[in-house]
Amino acid sequence: MAKKGTTPWNKGIKTGKPAHNAIQIDKDTLYDLYINQELSTTEIGRMFNCSATAIRNKLNAYGIPTRSSGEGVKAQRSKWSDEQELARSRKFHNT
């Protein structure tokens, strides 16, 4: 709490990103991106110019189950290994 007569350090500061309730994303689209395509909240946030926290809040507001950070890392590693395997396959077949 700020002292009387002072202004809090963050008053009036704008991040340039909308709050989760201002994000224009419907439940079905968010479900598809997060659950079916296994995109992270950070990746979805970049697509909609908002923070990962705003996406997480929207997921909660829609009742979409969220992954733990461990599950998110596991999904990312799986994607990376698939991409690496595809790159190796292309390299092998192109030689």
- Residue 4 in any domain: the answer is no
User: What's the total number of domains in the chain?
Assistant: 1
Short-list 62, 60, 57, 65, CA closest to 35? 65
Has residue 14 been placed in a domain? Answer: no
At residue 19, what is the residue type? A
CA 51 to chain centre: 7
pLDDT at 17: 60
N-terminal to C-terminal alpha carbon distance within the chain: 66
Supply the range of the domain harboring residue 85: 20-94
Q: Render pLDDT for 40-92 as a digit per residue (tens, 0 to 9).
A: 999 999 999 999 999 999 999 999 999 887 765 656 666 656 666 666 666 66
User: Is 6 domain-assigned?
Assistant: no
Looking at the domain assignment, is residue 8 inside a domain?
no
Establish if 43 belongs to a structural domain. Answer: yes
Whether this model's pTM surpasses 0.75: no
Q: Is residue 13 part of a domain?
A: no
